[in-house]
Amino acid sequence: MRQVRTLGLLGTGVIGGGWAARALHFGIDVVAADLKPQMEEWLRGAVANAEGALARLTFAPLPAKGRLTFTTDMHAMARQVDFIQENIPEQLELKQRVLAEISRHAPPDVVIASSTSGLMPSDLQRDMVAPERLLVAHPFNPVYLLPLVELVGGRATSEAALEAAAHFYRYIGMHPLRVRREVPGHLTDRLQEAIWREILHLVNDGVATTGELDESIIYGPGLRWAGMGTNLIYHLAGGEPGMRHMLRQFGPCLKWPWTKLEAPELTEELIDRMVEGTQSQAAGRSIRELERLRDNYLVAIQQVLREYDLGAGATLRALEERLYEDAAARARPHLAAASVSAAAGNRSGPLRLLETCVRPEWIDYNGHMTDWRYLQLFGDATDALFRYAGIDEAYRRSGRAMYTLETHLTHKAEAHSQERLYVLSRVLEVDEKRVRVQHTLQRARDEVLVASAEVLYLHVSTQEGKVARMDAEVRGHLVAIQAATN
């Protein structure tokens, strides 16, 4: 199977737009195919709307953004891409026909993944050429922020296709969940449908409104579910004996006639109640406004979970580690060239290793970025600089690290909410045990200096708990950076 540099999208609705935004953000080119030419404008708008949240998801260094192209010729799309994500309407015969047709134009080593939320891959691959490369890859909206993607193989699906798909989805920051065998609705939608049926019954019977039922989730179990699923939470409910005690104590309740497995008939009266309830909850806000609200809190939740290496936060942390390592790998050839250039008396200037924007939650009562966020940004810039020089996760695992000894920070100008910023870094001084670094924080719109910092670091043996000589190769890199940036 191929290394994915270009993603093909077959269908460009809400899910297709989400795939496009995520892939482009992580450096993958996208060729989107849709029979309706007017969908190009819609797709570009969806990508633009997602960019604000994606820009705040992580500080890790990103590759150059991918390039988006649009076509109404799905055959041309299939011939030029490395991976195809199908997002057409949820109609079995339509999907079978289109997938069979696209498989005659896509090379046999191109994986074809369907975003179907309920259809089974064995049915979808029935008439395809090289059906072994077809699998279900079911995402969740918004695709550009929610990392879960359910991978389901059909009877003809090869293990190589499933592994290649999992590798690609991890690359763009997702959590591929292998479903052991195909069942209608896969895993998550079956769980969601059980709740959905109960919601319809409770509204239909006049027990609760849509708003009250949503409150019953968001103020209680929804908060728990962000980091722990139902099973682990119920394990905790059993106290020290865990799940066994919980089932013995509460298991008999499962026989009580609480739930109704069959959904109620969707009468016009029930539909009206559902519409009136959700319109009341929306309180006049447009879909785009609600999307941005949803995206903002999803970013914040994932960043909190990242601190605890839990759930979607663990996926984000793994993505960031990979992004840092990739950025360091991209930089090393430039570091070697800079060493040669510096030896010849040339200077390349400070390194631009961190770009970001001021997040709304960073703003203090004066309306600009609060003091301690400057330290965070300069710390992130140092982390990027040290990774550039080879002080990465593997180096720290070997028992060696840089510890901060002194920081001198000077404020020059204000930075307001959503202001684009970047950091320029240079090495001022380096010896066997010390590194002095200088950072300048600049506003992107006018190049104004916002703040500067000088930081002195000591190289420490974390195993011995004392200052120690740094690795000779790392020191050589830092000396080269010093020569090139001053």
Beta pairing, strands 83-86 & 6-10:
parallel
Average pLDDT score over residue span 63-84: 95
Average pLDDT score over residue span 63-77: 95
Rounded to the nearest angstrom, the gap between the alpha carbon of residue 54 and the centroid of all alpha carbons in its chain is: 8
Could you report the per-residue pLDDT of 363-421, keeping only the tens digit for each? 888 888 999 999 989 998 998 889 888 888 888 889 999 999 999 999 999 999 888 89
pLDDT for 237 beyond 80: no
pLDDT value of residue 131? 97
pLDDT value of residue 63? 87
Share of the chain above pLDDT 90, in %: 55
pLDDT for 427 beyond 60: yes
pLDDT value of residue 360? 78
Q: CATH fold of 188-284, please?
A: N-(1-d-carboxylethyl)-l-norvaline Dehydrogenase; domain 2 (1.10.1040)
pLDDT for 335 beyond 70: no
pTM of the predicted structure, to 2 decimals:
0.78
Nearest alpha carbon to residue 354 among 444, 421, 437, 409: 421
First to last CA, the chain: 45
Distance CA 20, CA 31 (A): 9
Of 1-10, 71-80, 190-199, 253-262, least confident by mean pLDDT is 253-262
Compute the chain's Rg from CA coordinates. 26
Better-scored residue on pLDDT, 359 or 7: 7
pLDDT value of residue 73? 96
What is the DSSP annotation of 409-430?
A: EEE-S---TT-EEEEEEEEEEE
pLDDT value of residue 127? 95
Altogether, the residues listed in the chain come to a count of 486
Distance CA 15, CA 133 (A): 21
C-alpha distances (whole Å) from 98 to each of 34, 71, 103, 270, 373 are: 12, 16, 8, 36, 51
pLDDT for 455 beyond 90: yes
pLDDT for 345 beyond 60: no
Average pLDDT score over residue span 341-359: 73
Distance CA 94, CA 81 (A): 22
pLDDT for 439 beyond 80: yes
Q: Taking all residues of the chain, what is their mean pLDDT, rounded to a whole number?
A: 89
pLDDT for 148 beyond 70: yes
Confidence grade of residue 212 (pLDDT, cut at 50, 70, 90): very high
Nearest alpha carbon to residue 157 among 173, 187, 137, 138: 137
Could you report the per-residue pLDDT of 117-141, keeping only the tens digit for each? 999 999 999 999 999 999 999 999 9
In 81-206, which ranges are continuous DSSP H helix?
92-103, 121-124, 159-171, 188-204
Q: What are the φ/ψ torsions at residue 177 (nearest 5 degrees)?
A: -110, 115
Please name the CATH architecture into which domain 6-178 falls.
3-Layer(aba) Sandwich (3.40)
Distance CA 162, CA 160 (A): 5
Cα-Cα-Cα-Cα dihedral of 107, 113, 116, 120, to 10°?
Answer: 90
Same fold, 6-178 and 347-485: no
Q: CATH fold of 347-485, please?
A: Thiol Ester Dehydrase; Chain A (3.10.129)
Average pLDDT score over residue span 333-359: 69
Between vectors from CA 429 to CA 390 and to CA 469, what angle results, nearest 5°? 55
pLDDT for 338 beyond 60: no
pLDDT value of residue 170? 96
Could you report the per-residue pLDDT of 285-332, keeping only the tens digit for each? 887 788 888 888 888 888 888 888 888 888 999 998 888 878 777 766
Q: Return the percent helix, strand and coil in the chain, to nearest 5.
A: 50, 20, 35
3-state SS, residue 147: coil
pLDDT value of residue 100? 97
pLDDT for 344 beyond 70: no
Q: What are the φ/ψ torsions at residue 178 (nearest 5 degrees)?
A: -75, 120
pLDDT for 357 beyond 70: yes
Secondary element (H or E) of residue 383? helix 371-389
In 119-187, which ranges are continuous DSSP H helix?
121-124, 159-171
Helix crossing, 230-237 with 243-250: angle to 10°? 80
Distance CA 62, CA 354 (A): 9
For the chain, the structural domain boundaries read: 6-178, 188-284, 347-485
Structure tokens at 157: 């699906």
Distance CA 439, CA 419 (A): 18
